[in-house]
Amino acid sequence: MKDKYAIILGGSSGLGLATAHKLSTSGYNICIVHRDRKNNLAFLSSEVEKMKSRGVNVFSLNKDALSPTTITEVCSKLPIKSVAVLVHSIAKGSLKPIYSKEDKTLTKQDFDLTIHAMGTSWLEWSQALIKNNLFTSNPRNIAFTSEGNTKVWEGYGAVSAAKVTLESLMRFMAVEYAPLGMTSNCIQAGMTQTPSFSMIPNSEKLVAFGKKRNPFKRLTTPEDVANAVYLLTRPEANWINGTILKVDGGESLR
């Protein structure tokens, strides 16, 4: 792993941060691209130091991962054929209803922003890394989806559309990037209390419902999801491609 990097898009909290920790523990160098306010930077700096203490290189870039300039900057910083893992964990979008007599409702611009941030930006990053010859010979391309891809949750319409887009892209990348030796998969996490999840309207009701229907009577943790990412990076996962892997303890069965 000495010369291999894992890029985590949206890696300053939640699933992305847990994944960065897990992969750094496994010997991957880490590149975190995130967008945070100043009051969160001290926390992230301490987390980065923990990763560095494991003997790996870590750099974080507090810039908009959706900006072409940011993509270009990251590509210029990494050695050729060094990226073994790309993890898309961007959580940015509109949480408005499609219809409401009182609240503001989703517009086309809201959908465009959300679908790009949580869907097509994965393809944009993948294409840039391929163009710049940064992927290793057997890279893993992973993105996070959710059960909201098929369920109707309050205020989740634009995000749901983005997750469906993400999963469609995954299937096409799994086929069309296979000649490059790349596998592309999505992880569908169970309900996980992260900063982005807490922004969903009435998320506390979803939490109570999730605990009730989960066979293990608990929510999914970021570490549960990070462990699944790690499993997909192992040589034994070479033949897993184009799959939506559920990491929810069986929650979605009910």
Residue burial 214-227, b: 16+ Cβ < 10 Å; e: rest: beeeebbbbebbbe
Tokens 């941030």 sit on residue: 117
Model pLDDT, residue 160 = 96
Counting the structural domains of the chain, the total is 1
CATH number at residue 136: 3.40.50.720
Distance (Å, whole) CA 34 – CA 36:
6
Buried b (16+ CB within 10 A) or exposed e, 123-157: bebbeebeebebbbeebbbbbbbbbbbeeebebbb
> Domain range holding 202?
5-253
Angle between helices 68-77 and 121-131 (to 10 degrees): 40
pLDDT tens for the chain, 254 residues long, are: 668 999 999 999 999 999 999 999 999 999 999 998 888 888 999 999 999 999 999 999 999 999 999 999 999 999 999 999 999 999 999 999 999 988 899 999 999 999 999 999 999 999 999 999 999 999 999 999 999 889 898 999 999 999 999 999 999 999 999 999 999 999 999 989 888 777 787 778 888 888 999 999 999 999 999 999 999 999 999 999 999 999 999 999 98
